[in-house]
């Protein structure tokens, strides 16, 4: 029987879109990506529409080329997503996108759904920031409400003397001030929900950040925090009638979980799943969006993932690490830019730890 090919449109054509297309092509899916950057790295595996996210003519052309729309980042203008949603199905729902693109809306939703989160206050000016600091106490973190990623738009305020500098760095943008959490570890749960409501959870990842950027993730099997993390993510899935992959970043403090942020998309802390799970987060996202049955999310090995940021080691060096798999995104090097990652797989914790340490050494050498 011949069925029509499903074409998935992706807003954004960075590495996440590239890995979505790489996962979906073998299923017979086709991809159209929209991104203003002519050299966007997903273009090699898809049809690239070059244009602005806010440009109606571009959006209309894009909508005409696809059966369904998804996105790889949160900062798509809400009006553009709504415009597209009037023409083609958009998954995950624009409501999930709207909640996650504004940190104040996101944290307010956590509170509404009974998901513990650090204390936070909206801040619109220097006086407001001073008042928020006296309310919340120090240390605290000032974050711009929108457009932040990889730690951008954030400042830690340790002393009263830091207040003015932090406000200046925010550049007058609306912010939230939140308690600095002395977490014991950072974890994330990645979950996928199909169009019919079928839900599957990946094993949680334990994440190490530095300078606000994810450096590495270790996939944790049979972790004691797994079921609590799943319970919190489920509240979001139900609230949105969610379709696709969702990631929830959590702080663990004294054995309890607090939500940091959610991402209504495939997530850097789930990259290990390409080799480490029965079905990768990328394949499951496109399966969900295309209305196909979901695949298993169980681990097929122990694994850990290392990001290559700013520079990327030679392929031969990475591949000489036992059990390592390289993903070079084909992006031009720039300080702080995610250029690729490697996942190391093994059959014991010790083997993965050894591989992880070798990969981390490579990131320091290059």
Which entry of Mg ion, ligand ADP, none binds 262, CB below 5 to 8 A by partner kind? none
229 to each of 120, 198, 235, 328, how far by Cα in Å? 21, 18, 10, 31
| Three-state SS at 84 | helix
Restricting to residues 248-277, name those near Mg ion by CB under 5 A.
249
Instruction: Tell which residue, 130, 137, 214, 125, has the closest CA to residue 170.
Output: 125
Q: Rule CB under 6 A: say whether 155 interacts with ligand ADP.
A: no
Selected from 15, 80, 260, 284, the binder of ligand ADP by CB under 6 A is 260
Residues in the chain: 366
Q: Rule CB under 6 A: say whether 206 interacts with ligand ADP.
A: no
State the residue for tokens 């693109």: 101
Restricting to residues 32-61, name those near Mg ion by CB under 5 A.
none
CA distance 356 to 321: 9
CA distance 2 to 268: 36
Q: Rule CB under 6 A: say whether 252 interacts with ligand ADP.
A: no
Which entry of ligand ADP, Mg ion, none binds 72, CB below 5 to 8 A by partner kind? none
Q: Rule CB under 6 A: say whether 212 interacts with ligand ADP.
A: yes
Selected from 60, 149, 224, 320, the binder of ligand ADP by CB under 6 A is 149
Tokens of 313: 């080691």
Q: Rule CB under 6 A: say whether 249 interacts with ligand ADP.
A: yes
User: Least separation, in Å, of the C-beta of 319 and Mg ion?
Assistant: 29
Q: Rule CB under 6 A: say whether 337 interacts with ligand ADP.
A: no
Cβ-proximal residues to 134 (8 Å cutoff; 6+ apart), any chain: none
Selected from 94, 118, 346, 355, the binder of ligand ADP by CB under 6 A is 118
Q: Rule CB under 6 A: say whether 116 interacts with ligand ADP.
A: no
User: Least separation, in Å, of the C-beta of 288 and ligand ADP?
Assistant: 23
What string of H, E and C letters represents the secondary structure of 14-45? CHHHHHHHHHHHHHCCEEEEEECCCCCCCHHH
Nearer residue to ligand ADP within complex by CB, 13 or 176:
176
Nearer residue to ligand ADP within complex by CB, 158 or 361:
158
CA distance 190 to 94: 19
Tokens of 111: 């509170």
Nearer residue to ligand ADP within complex by CB, 62 or 167:
167
Query: How many residues belong to the site for ligand ADP (CB under 6 A)?
Result: 16
Binding segment toward ligand ADP, per CB under 6 A, in 32-40, 175-183, 273-281, 317-325:
175-183
Q: Sign of the C-alpha dihedral, residues 338, 340, 345, 348? A: negative
> Exposure of 140 by Cβ count < 10 A (0-12 exposed, 13-18 middle, 19+ buried)?
buried
Residues in touch with ligand ADP (CB under 6 A): 118, 141, 148-151, 178-181, 186, 209, 212, 249, 260-261
Residues in touch with Mg ion (CB under 5 A): 249
């Amino acid at each position: 029987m011949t069925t029509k090919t499903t074409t998935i449109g992706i807003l954004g054509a960075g590495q996440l879109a590239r890995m979505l297309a790489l996962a979906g092509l073998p299923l017979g899916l086709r991809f159209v990506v929209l991104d203003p950057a002519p050299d966007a790295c997903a273009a090699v595996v898809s049809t690239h529409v070059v244009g602005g996210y806010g440009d109606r003519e571009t959006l209309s052309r894009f909508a005409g080329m696809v059966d369904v729309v998804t996105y790889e980042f949160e900062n798509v203008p809400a009006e553009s997503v709504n415009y597209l949603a009037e023409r083609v199905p958009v998954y995950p729902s624009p409501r999930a996108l709207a909640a996650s693109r504004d940190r104040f809306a996101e944290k307010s939703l956590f509170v509404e759904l009974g998901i513990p989160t650090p204390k936070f206050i909206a801040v619109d000016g220097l006086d407001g920031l001073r008042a928020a600091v006296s309310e919340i106490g120090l240390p605290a973190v000032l974050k711009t409400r929108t457009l932040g990623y990889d730690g951008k738009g954030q400042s830690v305020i340790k002393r009263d003397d830091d207040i003015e500098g932090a406000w200046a760095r925010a550049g007058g943008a609306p912010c939230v001030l939140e308690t600095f959490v002395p977490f014991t570890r950072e974890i994330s749960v990645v979950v996928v929900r199909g169009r019919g409501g079928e839900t599957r959870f990946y094993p949680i990842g334990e994440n190490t950040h530095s300078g606000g950027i994810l450096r590495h993730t270790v996939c944790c099997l049979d972790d004691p925090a797994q079921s609590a993390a799943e319970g919190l993510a489920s509240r979001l899935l139900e609230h949105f009638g969610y379709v696709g992959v969702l990631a929830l970043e959590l702080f663990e403090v004294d054995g309890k979980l607090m939500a940091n942020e959610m991402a209504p998309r495939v997530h850097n802390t789930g990259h290990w799943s390409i080799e480490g799970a029965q079905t990768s987060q990328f394949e499951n996202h496109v399966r969900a969006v295309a209305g196909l049955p979901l695949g298993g999310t169980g681990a097929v090995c122990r694994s850990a993932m290392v990001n290559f940021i700013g520079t990327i080691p030679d392929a031969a060096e990475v591949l000489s690490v036992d059990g390592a798999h390289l993903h070079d995104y084909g992006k031009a090097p720039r300080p702080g830019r995610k250029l690729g990652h490697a996942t190391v797989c093994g059959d014991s914790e010790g083997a993965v730890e050894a591989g992880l340490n070798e990969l981390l050494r490579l990131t320091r050498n290059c």
